Amino acid sequence: MTDAEYQAWLADLTAPRIVLCELDYAGGTEHVASHPYVSGPTDVPAHQVYDDLLAEAIDIETRIDGLIRFGEISLVDDGSLWRWVSRAWNGHAVRLYLGGPDWPLADFRLHARGTNAGVIESRRGVLAFGVTDQSAQLDEPIDTGSLPNGAGAVPLALGSVYNAPAYRSSTTALEYTASYLPVTALTPKDSGNPVPHTDNLANGRFTLANATQASLTVDIEEQHNTPALIAQWVADQYGIAIGELSLPAYRVGLYYNATVTGRQILDELCRGLGAYWYLNALGELVVRQHTIPGAAEVVVSIDDIEWGQISLAETEQPWRSLTLRWGRNHAPLDSVAGVIEDNDATAASRLKREWSESTTSQGVDAHPQAEDATRDSCIQREADAVLERDRLITLRPVRADVWEIDVFLSTIRTGQAIEVEHAAVERMIGRVIGVNRSPTRGTTTLRVWFPVPWPPGDLGAAVDALDIAVNETLPALFAEA
């Protein structure tokens, strides 16, 4: 079955649908379904029986902030599932497939995958499993090892890091650890002034030629110095495939001197880039920058919307100004070396403050409650910060609205540009920021961000032209009558 044929089948609201569910556990896989199903002799696997025990398939909500929420899987227990309760389900995969009752198994499409959280209910007639999304694995801490003498985790530096702390890693030599990962350059500084040292770049360490007299810090250059490279590194750490990385080539840097998780890194990476991340249905990592939607990738007509199920969920005020903070100083100094204070006031100032800032503003006189926004970013170069600052403020020139819309089951994806043909949002192009699917109730709840109350361009002129045409035509029609 082609993608076009599958889409046409989804659009046919009278077509019968069934959900196949595969539940892995320590001893194998159980196959259940919302209706009886047996794979054909040419399917792989052939003659696989899916027992019709599935009473309720999970609702899956995907959002652009990386959070995915799952419901539960509830099975009808006729008394034969008592052995299932004691099995090792936790942490094993759950896969949901959607298709027609007479289809070959190969034509079913993966609807969602998750991780079994174990049995959450077992009583007469019911056996229920909790399910978490695959992004839960990103909550596992990254093991960077430990510093000597209980000093905590070995620091993790990604990309370009300015003025980070340095930690003594030897009791017999002036050896210091800057990063868990191999690095490409290290610049140790005493009160901001570079000091003689010997590099051990492969181990993220350096050894000083002489003991420092005041504050020791270090500038670090590590190879994952763009947003895409950091996202790829996180995915590799957790064995996650890449679905899409649509990110700018800014010079960036992140630094952690305590235990950190992949989710924390992705969240911080995206926060100052106006970006979002999530794992798609295939479990692949998708990271994109938030943009004003252009041409619609999908159109939802009024017939696609469940009767009366469209409502305004929230309103966002525009930004009067935006301050983007960049070039973070991870160890601000109270005082700096005299040679720097005397000869380079710019460097001395940066060594003493935590952030550099870039601010811009725009005219929003029509919105008295417009906001003065501030965002922290991992950007390291001023030119990149200015570019991103100017891009971000154009996302919020006027009020933005978020609408919730229940549409009949479809393959609309998080992040798509969407046009909704409904009087409440007529002719507006929005961005899908949340998708809540339910294969059993037959509808999908969308959260759609509309960045402007009316589309830009010549709409006002078009409305004026329509008024003129009506005013000129109606009198003539009445005269003829």
pLDDT digits (tens, 9 = 90+) for 398-414: 888 999 998 876 678 88
The residue among 421, 362, 418 whose CA lies nearest residue 394 is 362
Is residue 426 domain-shared with residue 304, that is, in the same domain? yes
Tell me which residue has tokens 């590799």.
Answer: 236
- Whether 58 and 131 have beta carbons less than 8 Å apart is answered as yes
Which pLDDT score, from 0 to 100, does residue 29 have? 96
Same-domain check for residues 159 and 119: no
Question: Does residue 449 sit within a domain?
Answer: yes
Instruction: Identify the band that residue 154 occupies on the pLDDT scale cut at 50, 70 and 90.
Output: very high
pLDDT of residue 218: 96
Is the pLDDT at 393 greater than 70? The verdict is yes
What is the model's pLDDT at position 456? 41
C-beta atoms surrounding 295 within 10 Å: 7
Do residues 108 and 33 share a domain?
Answer: yes
Verify that 67 and 162 share a domain, yes or no: no
On whether residue 179 sits in a domain, the answer given is yes
**Residue at a domain's end among 178, 203, 221:** 221
Residue after which a domain boundary falls, among 135, 170, 193: 135
The pLDDT value recorded for residue 11 is: 67
Same domain, 183 and 93: no
> Can you give the pLDDT at residue 367?
86
8 A C-beta contact, residue 189 and residue 217 = yes
For residue 153, being part of any structural domain is answered with yes
Sequence-ordered list of residues with C-beta below 8 angstroms from that of 324, at least 6 positions apart, any chain: 272, 357, 358, 359, 374, 375, 377, 379, 385, 388, 389, 392
Q: Which of 104, 135, 166 finishes a domain?
A: 135
pLDDT at 472 over 70: no
Q: Does a structural domain hold residue 199?
A: yes
pLDDT confidence bin for 476, thresholds 50/70/90: very low
Residues 114, 58: contact at Cβ < 8 Å?
yes
pLDDT at 460: 40
Q: How confident is the model at residue 64 (pLDDT cuts 50, 70, 90)?
A: low
- Quote the pLDDT of residue 462: 36
Inter-residue contact 324 to 346 (CB < 8 Å): no
% of residues, the chain, pLDDT over 90: 49
Per-residue pLDDT at 471 exceeds 70: no
CB atoms within 10 A of CB 331: 18
Phi, psi of 9, rounded to the nearest 5 degrees: -65, -40
- Chain centroid, CA 199 distance in Å: 37
pLDDT for the residue numbered 325? 97
Residues 168 and 121 in one domain: no
Most confident segment among 1-10, 35-44, 380-389: 380-389
CB-based contact 81:90 (threshold 8 Å): no
Residue 122, pLDDT > 60, answer yes
| Concatenated DSSP letters of 192-240 | TEE--EEEEGGGTEEEESS--SS-EEEEEE-S--SHHHHHHHHHHHTTP
Q: Is 470 helix (H, G, I), strand (E, B) or coil?
A: helix
- Find tokens 């996202």 and name the residue: 231
The backbone region for 365, taken as left when phi is positive above 0, alpha when psi lies in -120 to 50, beta otherwise, is alpha
For the cut 50, the answer to whether the pLDDT of residue 129 exceeds it is: yes
pLDDT at 398: 85
Q: Measure Cα distances from 193 to 237, 348, 351 in Å.
A: 35, 10, 10
Question: For residue 11, what are the domain limits?
Answer: 3-135
- Higher pLDDT among residues 367 and 324, named by residue: 324
| CA–CA distance, 200 with 177 (Å, rounded to integer) | 9
Residue 213 in domain: yes
Range list of β-strands (E), 216-369: 216-221, 242-246, 253-256, 275-279, 285-289, 298-300, 305-316, 319-326, 356-361
* Cβ burial 78-87 (10 Å sphere, 16+ → b, else e): eeebeebeeb
pLDDT at position 455 is 42
Give the residue from 30, 31, 25 showing the smallest Cα distance to 39. Answer: 31
pLDDT surpassing 80 at residue 301: yes
Using one digit for the tens of pLDDT, what is the confidence trace for 449-467?
987 654 444 434 333 433 4
Specify whether the CB–CB gap between 465 and 444 falls below 8 A.
no
pLDDT at position 409, please?
64
The answer to which of 2-6, 213-217, 384-388, 475-479 has the lowest mean pLDDT is 475-479
One domain, residues 84 and 183: no
Query: Are 445 and 309 within one domain?
Result: yes
- Per-residue pLDDT at 126 exceeds 80: yes
| Phi, psi of 470, rounded to the nearest 5 degrees | -65, -45
pLDDT digits (tens, 9 = 90+) for 191-212: 999 999 999 999 999 999 888 7
Identify the pLDDT of residue 477: 38
In this predicted model, which residue has the larger pLDDT, 390 or 170? 390
Mean residue pLDDT of the chain comes to 86
User: Could you tell me if residue 77 is inside a domain?
Assistant: yes
Residues 130 and 188 in one domain: no
458 CB burial (10 A radius; 0-12, 13-18, 19+): exposed
Q: In this structure, are residues 206 and 184 in contact, taking their beta carbons and an 8 Å threshold?
A: no
Say if residue 439 is in the same domain as residue 311. yes
Considering the domain architecture, whether residues 10 and 38 belong to the same structural domain is answered as: yes
The verdict on 161 and 30 lying in the same domain is: no
Q: Which of 74-78, 88-92, 169-173, 254-258 has the lowest mean pLDDT?
A: 169-173
pLDDT of residue 305: 87
Structure token digits, residue 105: 């198994």
pLDDT for 473 equals 41
For residue 241, is it within any domain?
no
Residue with tokens 């539960």: 72
Per-residue pLDDT of 228-257, as tens digits, reads: 999 999 999 999 999 999 999 999 999 999
Give burial (CB, 10 Å; 0-12/13-18/19+) of 471.
exposed
Identify the CATH number of the domain in which residue 445 sits: 2.40.30
**Total domains present in the chain:** 3
**Burial profile 91-104: b = 16 or more Cβ within 10 angstroms, e = fewer:** eeebbbbbbbeebe
Confidence of residue 440 (pLDDT cuts 50, 70, 90): low
Average pLDDT over residues 5-11: 77
pLDDT mean over 281-285: 81
Give 282 or 315, the one with higher predicted confidence: 315
Tokens found for residue 322? 């935006």
In a domain, 130, yes or no: yes
Q: Which segment of 62-66, 166-170, 271-275, 460-464 scores lowest on mean pLDDT?
A: 460-464
Query: 292 pLDDT exceeds 90?
Result: no
Query: What is the Cα–Cα distance from 193 to 215, expressed in whole angstroms?
Result: 10
Q: Which residues contact 441 (CB under 8 A, 6 or more apart)?
A: none
Residue 113, pLDDT score: 79
